[in-house]
Amino acid sequence: MESKKVILSGIQPSGTPTLGSYLGALRNWAALSVEFECFYMIVDMHAITARQIPAELRKVQYEQVALLIACGINPEDNTLFIQSHVPEHAQLAWVLNCYTMFGELSRMTQFKDKSAKNADNINAGLFTYPALQAADILLYQADYVPVGADQKQHVELTRDIAVRFNGIYGDVFKLPEPYIPEVGARIMDLQTPTRKMSKSEIADGGCVLMLDTPEEIMRSFKRAVTDSETVIKFDPKKKPGISNMIQIYSVCTGKEIVCIENEFAGKGYGDFKPVVGEAVVELLRPIREETHKLLADKAYIESVFKNGADKASYTASKTLRKVYKKIGFIEKPR
């Protein structure tokens, strides 16, 4: 029997994920285990490139493990773990730092964006974290990495690093491909619909979080920016606000965009906004309730990420041993 292809992805423990993260990524993760062997991790090592409050960082990691399970990611069918619990990530990252060019890291757009937002903390980790990200992927010989279109650059750099290493030492790493869902891959901010919905922009009120209450969700949609017209028509260039909400409603309900336009023909934004809000409330309600239920059982959450780390380490250690041997490191005697 042919083995399943491998998918790997990570989620930052920098707060509750947004509606955009759910519709564009997390919602699809649960279904992938049918076809793929899936490794999903909480990337706490990446998170510390920005200053974190330790107690909050720990709290969010528990919350995100619970949230992923509530999203349908069964720990029995997927490897769900915390990045720092698998030391091979840091070990391979250092090796790959030595095979990653300064110019390649300088061109990474996320480094430029994050440096602009954290001008008082432009640290080395912020610059070199793409090498850690490459290690995350290559440790598990991943075939695919689910990413948004704006993250393709990181997968391309990972491939470049792997090609360089393989060119020197032979066939060590598998070359990963980006796995980009066609629908709902890019949900925009409700207040500034020309930019992607992001936790970093939560202060402006345009971001819906997965654990928001129904009242908070409805308030966000009622305040959403639209345009001076009242026609409910999908036109991302001329009508980004209403187009974003049409896409959200389409992904939440499974309705085609043209059907939504016909359904609301002759109606105004005041009719449409609360309908979209209600669709989001009902979509997220069971996830929020299940997350809170799981968080009440701390021992279970800990058993999930312990077992996940053990399973991840088994695969990661095989890759690291091969890399160490190729570059000339001596294996520690058993």
d(CA 20, CA 187): 5
Which entry of 174, 196, 239, 273 is annotated as an active-site residue?
Answer: 196
Residue partners of 152: CB distance under 8 A and separation at least 6 = 178, 180
Alpha helices of 107-149 — where are they, by DSSP H? 109-117, 124-138
Structure tokens, 230: 């009242």
Which entry of 4, 5, 152, 199 is annotated as an active-site residue?
Answer: 199
Region of 222 please: left (phi>0), alpha (psi -120 to 50) or beta: alpha
* 283 three-state secondary structure: helix
CA Rg value for the chain: 21
Kindly list the distances between the CA atom of residue 23 and the CA atoms of 5, 9, 209, 251, in Å, as whole numbers in the listed order. Answer: 23, 15, 12, 7
Residue 25 is classified by DSSP as I
Which residue in the block uniquely carries the two structure tokens 């309705």? 255
Q: Enumerate the β-bridge partners of residue 126.
A: none
199 flagged as catalytic? yes
Contact between 140 and 3 (Cβ < 8 Å): no
Contact between 66 and 291 (Cβ < 8 Å): yes
5 flagged as catalytic? no
273 flagged as catalytic? no
What are the residue numbers of the active site?
A: 114, 196, 199
